[in-house]
Amino acid sequence: MTRAWSVTDIRSMEGEREQFAHVVKHLYRPAEHWEQVVPELAESRGKALGAESPTFFPSKGPDWSAVPDAYRRCVLSDHDRLYAPAYREALCDAEAAGRFGQLESNGPGPGWAFVDSRGVYVIVGERKMQAPKVRTAYRVLPPHASSRRTEDFFKAAVRRLRDKSSYPERGS
């Protein structure tokens, strides 16, 4: 499988609503333990809480239109400061390690998945006549909640990469 682009060509998540949704659904989700990737996260969570968050990090995320402005600003700031740098770093790490594969008909369009050494799983969508874009970035949950070491997340992510994509290529 070949790509006509490199990870440096990939656009980050676009649109505040999309960025907000993914930060709340993934970066703030306790079960994904993003503090292993972004040590500053604990402090940020506290700030978001202090900004009158409507509900404490629900897995489904609060309604964008219903959240207070201060909370929304905190979340969007965390996208730019913490989440986007983390998933962009993950893309570079995964590409350097050859840990990526093409997704075949199991998403909303053509795409690729990348897994970095910290167990961050990034899905990149290819778009017609546009630069590819990050569709989501999350940490694959290990089979059991009791497994929460970085190594557990890494193994879980690589295993799902194998299951869902062309990775590993034959002969690699």
CA–chain centroid gap for 81, Å, is 14
> CB of residue 9 vs another protein: minimum separation in angstroms?
15
Q: Where does this chain touch another protein (CB under 8 A) — which range of 36-44, 62-70, 79-87, 125-133? A: 125-133
For another protein, the binding residue among 30, 59, 96, 97 (CB under 8 A) is 59
Whichever of 1 and 52 has its CB closer to another protein, that residue is: 1
Report which DSSP code applies to 62: -
Q: Where does this chain touch another protein (CB under 8 A) — which range of 37-45, 79-87, 92-100, 162-170? A: 162-170
Verify binding: residue 143, another protein, rule CB under 8 A: yes
Verify binding: residue 66, another protein, rule CB under 8 A: no
Dihedral (CA of 11, 93, 152, 148) sign: negative
> Which residues make Cβ contacts (< 8 Å) with residue 133, sequence separation at least 6?
10, 11, 12, 13, 14, 124, 125, 127
> CB of residue 145 vs another protein: minimum separation in angstroms?
6
Question: Where is 162: in which H helix or E strand?
Answer: helix 150-164
Please, are residues 121 and 161 in contact by the beta-carbon 8 Å criterion?
Answer: yes
Q: CA–CA separation, 70 vs 4, rounded Å?
A: 41
Verify binding: residue 98, another protein, rule CB under 8 A: no
Q: Using CB under 8 A as the criterion, which residues of the chain lie in contact with another protein when the complex forms?
A: 18, 21-22, 25, 59-61, 103-111, 113, 121, 123, 125-126, 128, 135-136, 138, 140-147, 152, 155-156, 159-160, 162-164, 168
